[in-house]
Chains A and B, each alone.
Chain A
């Protein structure tokens, strides 16, 4: 719960991890990985966000309830993305069949 005191050494380690990930994401951007570029960038961003949420924001030491709500927030975001995109991906599919 909120009373859990995380030692500064953990914070410093997490900060080290975040710095390494940040350098990695900048460096990787200069390599041509094709479609993998955004995938790598987003994976690193998600890892960084996880580190911040779990340690800086104490979620690793909080109740299940907190974890559920945090997960819920991100899950709803995915709902929005996954249901908006099909429209844009498939909108052109039928166009050639229309005679005018």
Chain B
């Protein structure tokens, strides 16, 4: 591992910064400072990640043996449902935008705060209220519909706490909408002088695209969940087959949001990778405009493909063909990003810091996740793979291999900025490698399991699948260790880590020009003025693009 060249050994923690201006609990819970709200989010999503991770480990434990010897079927159904609901609505969707985006977007655009600080705080409270409802649903007996709440099971037959869970997702949805709204207004209206659109960091572009999806997609799932809730309470409803209602219509409306939601989860990760790859290659990013516009393209085309979740749902075959074709289109902007990142690495002065290792992990795993998505987007193969472990492996490669890697990558990259302190580099790198190994051991066998035909969402399975399942469970325990280690050294670094100084990585971007951690209003010397492009690193001048 190379040493961190740019960090002066004598760096001292600044006397005053956003985290130590006031110390009371109220000063945190009533704060409107985007950085403090980001920390609130970081703590709360970590808690939910742990809860979701607990359910994941219960699932993997149960699947260690072919027989259902740990839980019965009903309990197992609740396990995977709560794992899904908590991980998606309370970890993945808010993770990068609400933590890193919240912390960094005002810094990156040179503003004192987000455009609507009170609304920002409100969205954290909405998130917490939604989260508490989810926990309440869990305590009262759980939910067993799967995170997708498919009708008519969810609306008519399920005997579990569907209404609470649906309300939880509904409220968390508005938290997500308000965060997106705040970001878009901030990016449009609060950029520093000289910070033109094409000088914006790609992290900001990615969040702009994410916010568009949050604003245009989330309300649709909100009203859909309202319809499910109404049908449960009222007894009669929109998706009720006895009235001529169509349960498949629920799937249309649900996936109209929930497929783009996949891009809510992955686009911010892509933004993080764009920052980290270029910093540790010491090289201007290759194809800035292509990466920027491919984010928007993913946001738009992502809305046109939802029907590929419904190939075997009695959706018309002709509609399926249209959706299948459009699904292949969305692979294009995703591939553009991967190619541009690899081109950025080419002839760069690459160093292997912990964030960079996570970034490498992201690129490789996301590529596998994306390519296996094409198998599922093709109607003929999807008939075979539908509802098997192949699907489970596919979306975990994108969500965990992509998004969680991206989150860990960003957290390690900006941790010195957020806390002003360094973490132990070697241990962090080892943890990154453990996560990578554990992840692949967990989920690659699931591709094979799915290919062999093991269906998802059962607590028992045929004995011939056991070897691969044992591998997967073993991998999960390694993965768990990999995720736990950063928890320890991050806590350690808060108290004992050496001071980072303003710019420990020698990175470009406005956020690195102010002290670490920043003061409450970010730039004490007044609003910064931007005179150069983003990523003006030493290698590959501006001629390398367009």
Contacts and interface: CB of A to CB of B under 8 A. Distances in A.
Question: Do any CB atoms of chain A lie under 8 A from CB atoms of chain B in the complex?
Answer: yes
A90 B216 contact: no
Main secondary structure of the interface of B (DSSP, over half): helix
Interface of A: 65, 72-73, 76, 79-80, 83-84, 86-91, 93-94
Interface string B297-314: 000000110110000001
Interface in B298-335: 303-304, 306-307, 314-319, 322-323
Contact of A91 (B256, B303, B306, B315): B315
User: Which of B303, B316, B317, B323 has the most C-beta atoms of chain A within 10 angstroms of its own C-beta?
Assistant: B316
B17 interface: no
A93 B316 contact: yes
Contacts of B249: 84
B220 interface: yes
A83 B253 CA distance: 11
Given A84-B252, A87-B252, A65 B188 contact: yes
Nearest to A91: B316
Contact of A79 (B252, B304, B323): B304
B519 to A, nearest CB: 31
B239 to A, nearest CB: 14
Given A87-B315, A90-B318, A94-B318, 18 more contacts: A72-B216, A73-B216, A80-B220, A83-B306, A83-B322, A83-B323, A86-B318, A87-B248, A87-B307, A88-B316, A89-B316, A90-B316, A90-B319, A91-B315, A91-B316, A93-B316, A93-B318, A94-B317
A68 to B, nearest CB: 11
Contacts of B316: 86-91, 93-94
Given A90-B319, A93-B318, A83 B304 contact: yes
B380 to A, nearest CB: 15
Given A65-B188, A79-B304, A91 B216 contact: no
Nearest to B313: A87
Contacts of A87: 248, 252, 307, 315-316, 319
Contacts of A88: 316
A76 B303 contact: yes
23 contacts: A65-B188, A72-B216, A73-B216, A76-B303, A79-B304, A83-B304, A83-B307, A83-B319, A83-B323, A84-B249, A84-B256, A86-B319, A86-B322, A89-B316, A90-B316, A90-B317, A90-B318, A91-B314, A91-B316, A93-B316, A93-B318, A94-B316, A94-B318
A65 B188 CA distance: 9
B322 to A, nearest CB: 6
Nearest to A83: B304
Main secondary structure of the interface of A (DSSP, over half): helix
Contacts of A90: 316-319
Nearest to B317: A94
Nearest to A86: B319
Nearest to A73: B216
Contacts of A89: 316
User: Which of B216, B220, B307 has the most C-beta atoms of chain A within 10 angstroms of its own C-beta?
Assistant: B216
Nearest to B246: A88
A72 B216 CA distance: 9
Contacts of A80: 220, 256
Contacts of A65: 188
Nearest to A94: B317
Nearest to A85: B319
Q: Which 4 A-B pairs have the closest CB atoms?
A: A87-B319, A91-B316, A90-B318, A90-B316
B227 to A, nearest CB: 15
A70 B363 CA distance: 36
A73 B212 CA distance: 10
A65 B208 CA distance: 14
A10 B220 CA distance: 35
Nearest to B306: A83
